[in-house]
Copies of this chain bind each other. A is one copy, B any other.
């Protein structure tokens, strides 16, 4: 049996090494799991109850049409269910979208250092990935538009807010970007973190706009990353096309129930967003106390500028990991001068505050010996 020609070009890869794998390698558990932008405040208590109740129905396939959840999302946004597609997290949905439009010869524009899993899908379907640099630590709409005019890509990717930096564009900037994109280009607007962002970051919702498909999730603000529920909002032509390629029975029934209940518990969401905001402030304070600068964030994490180059940030990351704090960092220059810390519980951040000075001191020491 032979693999396809395309498969032969693909590496075996994990876009991110999971904290469990690191724990296995280290032979020691993390004390603070604040590296994967998970939401430590967890799912809504009502959603937890609904999911626990649904577990005993786990023998039943989930509704392949995601009817109740899709209708609830539509009601929530005052749009039609035909403008909503539910899928196995944004990762799963991005994979479907890329499959729908990308084949060898097709081009995709994104920012160097933006979401690697999107890139994984593009490469996986044989697309050509063209990147533009961040500008001022931000995925830059203008740079993306300019490159789009050069290469006429099928897709342009923008995460708003951005991961890993937490920066954002305003809804107005994105609206302007849409007006300027070549007509053959679709904007993939990844809004995984949008619930944490200031309201000015939100592009006005117009699901009938054929120039953009938006992706949102229950993984972040709703605290259900491990349950795998995301959704796409867009014009009916694109939304219904997911039905040609998606894994119709792919949704976990328990997750469907949890997402539905979460969505109906907006009170909890508001509280969680507040707690995340407080945690962000505290991470920024810890940075300041240690003489470092941090970036304003519209997401559930904060990029701390470690103040030197990528080598230094990698040492600092490693020193934090050695002290049982799971964190990650950007991989592109010059964003890799930062480490990225997800909003943690009080216990997580107490511990971070405690160990950060020593981790920084050791890092300075190691770095000066090397340089």
Contacts and interface: CB of A to CB of B under 8 A. Distances in A.
B20 A63 contact: yes
B63 A4 contact: no
A161 to B, nearest CB: 19
23 contacts: A2-B184, A4-B100, A4-B102, A4-B103, A7-B244, A10-B245, A14-B243, A18-B65, A24-B67, A40-B59, A42-B56, A42-B59, A43-B56, A48-B58, A51-B254, A52-B52, A55-B254, A58-B226, A89-B247, A91-B247, A91-B249, A226-B252, A254-B254
A250 interface: yes
Given A20-B65, A67-B21, A225 B59 contact: yes
A115 to B, nearest CB: 12
B58 A55 contact: no
A363 interface: no
Contact of A101 (B2, B33, B155, B225): B2
Nearest to A258: B58
A13 interface: yes
Nearest to A256: B226
B7 A100 contact: yes
Contacts of A92: 247, 250
A98 to B, nearest CB: 10
A41 B155 CA distance: 46
A6 interface: yes
Contacts of A255: 252, 254
Interface in A244-275: 244-245, 247-255, 258
Contacts of A58: 42-43, 48, 51, 223-227, 258
A107 to B, nearest CB: 12
Nearest to A186: B1
A334 interface: no
A172 interface: no
A214 to B, nearest CB: 14
Contact of A61 (B1, B2, B38, B253): B38
Contact of A224 (B11, B18, B59, B117): B59
A171 interface: no
Contacts of A225: 58-61
A153 to B, nearest CB: 10
Contacts of A62: 226
Interface in A30-76: 33, 36, 38-43, 48, 51-52, 55-65, 67
A38 B55 contact: no
In the A-B complex, the 3 residue pairs with the closest CB atoms = A226-B253, A1-B186, A12-B243
A154 B51 CA distance: 41
Nearest to A243: B12
B63 A101 contact: no
A83 B244 CA distance: 31
